[in-house]
Amino acid sequence: MQIGYIRNAKKPNKMVKMIAKMSAYYGNELVYFRPADINFKEKTISGKILIDNRWKTKEVNVPAFIDINPPIFKNKRAVQFLKTHSNLSMDRRVGSKHEINKQIIADGTYKDLIIPYIVSSEFRPFYKFLKKHKKIILKPVDGIQGKKIYQISCSKGKYIISSGNEEYTLSKRKLKKFYSQNIKQNKFLIQKYIHSRTLAGDPFDVRIRLEKNGKGNWSVATYLVRIGTSQKVVSNVAQGGSVNKLKPFLRANFPQQSERLEDRIKSLGKELPPKLEEIFDQDLIALGLDVAIEPDGTIYLFEVETNPGRTFGEGEVAMVKADYYHYVAKRMKGNSLKTGVS
């Protein structure tokens, strides 16, 4: 069976190649394509297929199942066409960081994991929030890979702004100007600062990387601790830094609480994904849960990522994806799901 894999990138990346090879083991053929590769008139796709370890372009019918990621939903014509002629891994975008947080809070089950925050383009609510919490984080509502994230703290009438490796001090007047030029025209999530730092003082978070497996259930592909070495604000590896495995990291940085924290993080990896599907009323096949840990062991949810990146753990993710595609292929045989263009 052919499995579609639609993304915006012109060329398939290393992980897609791994998925194609592992899918071939099950007798499934991965077809990589972009929205621009769809022939709406002929109802075909000019996709890339891995043949003899090289990508070859081939005209094919619309695959019966297509792995789609959130950015593709901006192309409404392509999405509507694919919904009509195939089965998509998800029907719609879940929403922005703010919308996801609102839904988790409204449900109530995991509301304590959400970091206190506001969304505002006006200076007054922002300034009131800053004075209350003393140190805050600003991140774009629709941002990716830790870009344009600011840390702002106030002390003795001065305001310290950190971003990446840069840091500068402003007066209130200049802070207002900075806000007007950098924040006001964009939509930012304004969060209370969470002190998720290693003993060496570097920012970190725990990425729980999840995929649906060969039984159609959620499975943790990998737990990774992302450490923003020399970064003042973010721990995103795309902005520089390193990674570590969960167990040794917790033992080194939280020696008195390592077992409890590991159990709690693994419980979240097991319990939260199906709950999120329930909250969003949406089937998903991939998730990245970014977890913060304060010095006292309090755990917060930095972010729910429905379009998780591929910086590390590519092999593990590719293996689970291929298993899931095979599960889908078996289910589609003999049932009423769409099996391609009719």
Please report, rounded to a whole number, the percentage of residues in the chain having pLDDT higher than 70. Answer: 92
pLDDT at residue 183 in the model: 87
SS3 call for 260: helix
pLDDT at residue 311 in the model: 65
Q: How confident is the model at residue 240 (pLDDT cuts 50, 70, 90)?
A: low
* pLDDT, tens digit, 9 for 90 and up, residues 171-187: 999 999 999 988 887 88
pLDDT at residue 238 in the model: 54
Asked if pLDDT for residue 75 goes beyond 60, the answer is yes
Cβ distance 73 to 79 under 8 Å? Answer: yes
Residue (of 17, 85, 87, 81) closest to 48 by Cα position: 17
pLDDT at residue 97 in the model: 82
Q: How confident is the model at residue 230 (pLDDT cuts 50, 70, 90)?
A: low
Q: How confident is the model at residue 77 (pLDDT cuts 50, 70, 90)?
A: very high
Q: Which has the higher per-residue pLDDT, 144 or 207?
A: 207
- Cα separation values, 186 from 122, 164, 166, 172, 202, Å: 11, 19, 21, 20, 28
Asked if pLDDT for residue 74 goes beyond 90, the answer is yes
Annotated domain spans of the chain: 2-90, 97-114+197-325, 117-192
pLDDT at residue 342 in the model: 36
Q: How many CB atoms lie within 10 A of CB 128?
A: 12
Task: Please report which helix (H) or strand (E) contains residue 315, including its range.
Answer: helix 314-332
Q: Which CATH number fits domain 97-114+197-325: 3.40.50.300, 3.40.1160.10, 3.40.50.360, 3.30.470.20?
A: 3.30.470.20
pLDDT at residue 236 in the model: 54
Asked if pLDDT for residue 67 goes beyond 70, the answer is yes
What is the pTM for the complete model shown?
0.85
pLDDT at residue 144 in the model: 56
Q: How confident is the model at residue 339 (pLDDT cuts 50, 70, 90)?
A: very low
Q: How confident is the model at residue 296 (pLDDT cuts 50, 70, 90)?
A: very high
From first CA to last CA, the distance across the chain in angstroms is 16
Q: Find the angle CA(249)-CA(251)-CA(257) to the nearest 5 degrees.
A: 115
Asked if pLDDT for residue 146 goes beyond 80, the answer is no
Q: Which has the higher per-residue pLDDT, 234 or 58?
A: 58
Across residues 193-204, what is the average pLDDT?
93
Q: What is the mean pLDDT of the chain?
A: 90
* pLDDT, tens digit, 9 for 90 and up, residues 87-119: 999 999 888 888 999 999 999 999 999 999 998
pLDDT at residue 182 in the model: 85
Q: Architecture of 2-90 per CATH?
A: 3-Layer(aba) Sandwich (3.40)
Cβ distance 150 to 137 under 8 Å? Answer: yes
